[in-house]
Structure 1
Amino acid sequence: MPAKVIIVTGVSRGIGRSIVDTIFKEEPETIVYGIARSEAPLKELKEQYGDHFFYIVGDITDAGKLKQLAADAVRDHGKIDSVVANAGVLEPVQRIHDADIDAWKRLYDINFFSIVSLVSITVEQIARSHGNYVFVSSDASTMYFSNWGAYGSSKAALNHLALTVANEEPNVRCLAVAPGIVDTSMQVNIRENVGNNMSAEHHAMFKDLKESNKLLDSNVPATVYANLALRGVPESINGTYVSYDCAELASFQK
């Protein structure tokens, strides 16, 4: 069977980097195309995985970069089997009373509209390969965290996009998956910076998660995302929003 060709966004660090590493751990012959704004980590991945990893340096809100990424994959490897949409940002963290609308729009451009764009660019190829979209969502899409209105609502929109794609494209499967609370740079930012804009209770909660060693290693959810991209989204949960540790994904957690 020919090697899978997978696009992953936001691969320079955190969950995205772990997804790439896990894909190659599970299936070393896989071809991965990545995009991130920082070139140095992309070069490291290229040096590590050689002719199995290819990349574009750029912002995922740049449709031209996304088109180039997809075109490169099809030109050089003939297909795209899966897309893992991982890149995202948390800020602005602010009360709705103080909403900076331009900042909200920028967040939505990154967290939501870039993924709409990526789907529209790749869906013909994904349908041709009977492939998969895996969206990195968040518990914040259905739970309240103080002053996370921009982030949480963008992830809720992403959940609905998964539902839309799954129902409108009969040859495509799509799933939105929350990764849990992961020990990444976003958590550092919450503890040291934007947490000051949250309620004292919620800020303390995130600090305690770190102090009590309850944050997940990025490899834990990354294993689920990588395996979904490699094996395919189960039909029984196609178009839904689930957590990485749900029963339906038990076989993907290892």
Structure 2
Amino acid sequence: MVGKVIIVTGVSRGIGRSIVETILKLAPKTVVYGIARSEAPLKELKATYGDNFFYVVGDITDESKLQQLTNDAITRHGKIDSVVANAGVLEPVARIHDANISNWRKLYDINFFSIVSLVKTTLPYVSKTNGNYVFVSSDASTMYFSNWGAYGSSKAALNHLALTIANEEKTVKCLSVAPGIVDTSMQVNIRENVGANMSKEHHEMFKDLKASNKLLDSNIPATVYSKLALNGIPEAINGTYISFDAPELKDYQI
């Protein structure tokens, strides 16, 4: 018998891939539906997990791909219990003075509007299971990192979306969770590429975190996201923005 049916976005690497692996380790009867642009990692997950993992190859800004992902879950398994919105991008990294508005729009399409679309598409089904929406936010939503205006503001908008959903849709719960500073390809990009567009102080801070081995392994926040998707969001924090290591989430942490 199938357990929970969970949608996860951006599953090809980093936190997203760790979420898939953690969910299926914690609950082997669960079925995960994933989406990412790169097919090779999706095939690897499929080869590993068989009928517990299904995928769609595509960009999350393509509404037809989100509809396909949703339709596949309902056609095969008849329900959706939780959605974990993980996919996101950091760039453009630049001062407001130098902002390229077209690049801001592209980031918002990925980091924010695709999630609005995903929620709207899946809501009729997640409502039926009294399910959960879990958003991967960022410390940058409430803190200043130099020249991260696009990224930070998109994550702040995501926090407010969680608040909106929790208040408007009483049959579901929604939570926006910051994962901490995680050892992923985004950190490599900061150290080696876009960090040059940041202040020296902030660029050095990120490089020092790697050098001093203070970056988190992706499975640490992934465990929190996975347990929220599997076990549900506590009523007391429904609609809020919270850090993965907050005391309120102690039962969801490693």
Q: What's the CA shift string for 1:30-87, capped at 9, x where partnerless? A: 0000000000000000000001100000000000000000011001100000000000
Aligned counterpart, 2:206: 206
Q: How does 1:47-58 map to 2 (within 5 A)?
A: 47-58=47-58
Matched, 1:23 2:23: yes
Q: How does 1:139-178 map to 2 (within 5 A)?
A: 139-178=139-178
**What is the alpha-carbon distance in structure 2 between the residues aligned to residue 167 and residue 75 of structure 1?**
29
Which residue type is aligned with residue 101 of structure 2?
A: I
Which residue type is aligned with residue 7 of structure 1?
A: I
Is the Cα–Cα contact under 8 Å of residues 163 and 240 in structure 2 kept in the other structure? yes
Which residue type is aligned with residue 217 of structure 1?
A: D
**What is the alpha-carbon distance in structure 1 between the residues aligned to residue 48 and residue 30 of structure 2?**
14
Aligned counterpart, 2:89: 89
Q: TM-score, normalised by structure 2?
A: 0.99
Structure 1 runs (4+) deviating above 2 angstroms are: none
Aligned counterpart, 1:75: 75
Which residue type is aligned with residue 94 of structure 2?
A: Q
Which residue type is aligned with residue 135 of structure 2?
A: F
- 1:134 is paired with a residue whose SS is strand
User: Across the two proteins, how many residue pairs are aligned to each other?
Assistant: 254
Deviation at 1:136, TM superposition (A): 0.0
Q: What's the CA shift string for 1:192-213, capped at 9, x where partnerless? A: 0000000000000000000000
Q: How does 1:101-112 map to 2 (within 5 A)?
A: 101-112=101-112
Is the Cα–Cα contact under 8 Å of residues 2 and 31 in structure 2 kept in the other structure? no
Instruction: Point out where structure 1 has 5 or more consecutive residues left out of the alignment.
Output: none
Deviation at 1:135, TM superposition (A): 0.1
Q: 1:58 to 1:253 in 2, by over 3 A?
A: same
Q: Indicate the percent of aligned positions where both proteins have the same amino acid.
A: 77
- 2:154 is paired with a residue whose SS is helix
Which residue type is aligned with residue 154 of structure 2?
A: S
Aligned counterpart, 2:225: 225
Aligned counterpart, 2:132: 132
Instruction: Point out where structure 2 has 5 or more consecutive residues left out of the alignment.
Output: none
Aligned counterpart, 1:14: 14
**What is the alpha-carbon distance in structure 1 between the residues aligned to residue 30 and residue 126 of structure 2?**
16
Aligned counterpart, 1:98: 98
**What is the alpha-carbon distance in structure 1 between the residues aligned to residue 169 and residue 75 of structure 2?**
23
**What is the alpha-carbon distance in structure 2 between the residues aligned to residue 85 and residue 15 of structure 1?**
11
Aligned counterpart, 2:243: 243
Deviation at 1:2, TM superposition (A): 4.6
